Amino acid sequence: AQSVSQHNHHVILSEAASLELGCNYSYGGTVNLFWYVQYPGQHLQLLLKYFSGDPLVKGIKGFEAEFIKSKFSFNLRKPSVQWSDTAEYFCAVNARGGNQFYFGTGTSLTVIP
Amino acid sequence: NAGVTQTPKFQVLKTGQSMTLQCAQDMNHEYMSWYRQDPGMGLRLIHYSVGAGITDQGEVPNGYNVSRSTTEDFPLRLLSAAPSQTSVYFCASSYSANEKLFFGSGTQLSVL
């Protein structure tokens, strides 16, 4: 079975600080990678996804993530966070051609104005 | 466009009771799935379906039952509720198992 690890459980940053959230997965085959975000009181929604091609993918609201195959990692980054980025962030993976998504335990981000 | 609709939003059950969580989508998605979200555990897949009439188990299927008689609906049944099933439940759908998921707003379930 696949697994996804998110190393940071709770992150607190001041506005304008840079953000990097770690995500590692365990699966030897080809994978699709996702970051989802859950803003307070809202549905989970997709931030960005990687299927193939350029390992640096850009998503909504200035977020980006880099797929490093050799490290089985897909870390999420944002150069300058805003108060509105306060949310819970989930990394997810599924095997190419597979039917199951595996989610990490989530990282709660609090941005202080 | 309603997207993915889950009902109810909140539910309290007594141990041993049964109930059905409803999930409907209006996007003609083939893939539908149910997750539970527990503190420190993230989202864990309970059951999924790749089309009407086809369902399969995820990571944590015990105590839950599903069926998919139409493309639109994917209800989750708790057969005999247990306190360990206290959780927030999310339904999600997508065009296929490799595409982005669209989530419902969740059902907060407490089993006493």
Over residues A11-52, the pLDDT tens digits come to: 999 999 999 999 999 987 889 999 999 999 888 999 999 999
CB contact under 8 A, A43 and B101: no
Q: How many CB atoms are located within 10 Å of the residue A98 CB?
A: 17
Size of interface A-B (CB pairs under 8 A): 58
Name the average pLDDT for chain B.
95
Q: Each residue of B69-108: b (16+ CB within 10 Å) or e?
A: eebbebbbebeebeeebbbebbbbbbeebbbbbbbbbbbe
What is the residue whose two structure tokens read 């995500």? Answer: A23
CB contact under 8 A, B105 and A43: yes
pLDDT surpassing 90 at residue B70: yes
Report the pLDDT value the prediction gives residue B111, as an integer from 0 to 100: 97
Report the pLDDT value the prediction gives residue A1, as an integer from 0 to 100: 65
Name the average pLDDT for chain A.
94
Chain A CB contacts of B92 under 8 Å are 44
Closest C-alpha to A74, from A95, A88, A56, A61? A56
Report the pLDDT value the prediction gives residue A59, as an integer from 0 to 100: 94
Enumerate chain B positions whose Cβ falls within 8 A of a Cβ in A: 4, 31, 33, 35, 40-45, 48, 50, 56, 58-59, 90, 92, 97-98, 100-101, 103-106
Mean pLDDT is lowest, of A62-66, A87-91, B37-41, B50-54, for: B37-41
The amino acid at residue A95 is A
Q: Each residue of A4-23: b (16+ CB within 10 Å) or e?
A: bebeeeebebeeeeebebeb
Token code pair at residue B81: 């509720």
pLDDT surpassing 80 at residue B1: no
CB contact under 8 A, B98 and A104: no
Quote the DSSP letter at residue A41. T
Q: How far apart are CA A28 and CA B48, in angstroms?
A: 23
Classify burial at B38, counting beta carbons within 10 Å of its beta carbon; exposed 0-12, middle 13-18, buried 19 or more: middle
Q: How far apart are CA B109 and CA B95, in angstroms?
A: 28
- Mean pLDDT for B15-34 is 96
Q: Is the Cβ–Cβ distance between B12 and B110 less than 8 Å?
A: yes
Instruction: For residue A54, give every residue at least 6 positions away whose Cβ sits within 8 Å of its Cβ, in sequence order, or none.
Output: none
